[in-house]
Amino acid sequence: MSNHPKEEKTLVLIKPDGIQRALLGEILHRFERKGLKIIGLKMLRLDDVLTKAHYGKYEDKPFFAGLKDFMQSSPIVAVVLCGVNAVKVTRLIVGQTKSYEAIPGTIRGDFAMSMQSNLVHASDPEENPAEEVKRFFEDDELFSYKKINFDLLHAPDELK
């Protein structure tokens, strides 16, 4: 069995602060417990090309140099999550960019204090999640499968 047609894909990056602060398991656990399915997972170090592709829209901002240094300061973990409404649900679990304003219960609200070092990237629905997934994963690095809890997570009507 493969991914359901109603399931979306979204890209998550566990940033260097998440790796260094030993929060990788905690962060992945939160997505898994919600009911999101991991269909791609890898550790990598961002080079200049990938950093520019991902954060190039901020290249002229005063914080870009610091953001680039931070994002390249240790390996990151890239994850593709899949699920019904996965893009929106993932952003809600992550919380607001300014971690000091993020609501408790979100990843940033529970574990972060900073705007730059905010633990996680999650695709913005406005910024083409499919393109972000392609930036980090080849098609053959992604998996299509049905999780055994899928029919418990969604009422049949919600899947039409």
Angle between helices 48-55 and 129-136 (to 10 degrees): 180
The alpha helices in the chain, defined as continuous H runs, are 16-20, 24-34, 48-55, 64-71, 86-94, 107-111, 129-136, 150-153
- Smallest gap, in angstroms, from Cβ of residue 104 to ligand ADP? 17
Total residues binding ligand ADP (CB under 6 A): 8
The smaller minimum CB distance to ligand ADP, of residues 3 and 106, is found at 106
CB 123 within 8 A of CB 87: yes
CA 155 – CA 128 distance, rounded (Å):
28
Question: Which one of residues 24, 84, 115, 159 is an interface residue with ligand ADP (CB under 6 A)?
Answer: 115
Q: Of 4, 29, 54, 121, which is the active-site residue?
A: 121
121 is annotated as an active-site residue: yes
Instruction: Choose the binding region for ligand ADP from 16-24, 81-89, 114-122, 136-144 (rule: CB under 6 A).
Output: 114-122
The one-letter amino acid code at 83 reads: G
Quote the tokens at residue 46.
């961002």
Residues 6+ apart with CB under 8 A from 109: 95, 96, 99, 102, 103
- Show the binding pattern over residues 3-42: x = contacts ligand ADP (CB under 6 A), - = does not: ----------------------------------------
118 binds ligand ADP per the rule CB under 6 A: yes
CA 157 – CA 62 distance, rounded (Å):
48
147 binds ligand ADP per the rule CB under 6 A: no
121 binds ligand ADP per the rule CB under 6 A: yes
53 binds ligand ADP per the rule CB under 6 A: no
The smaller minimum CB distance to ligand ADP, of residues 42 and 61, is found at 61
Active-site residue list: 121
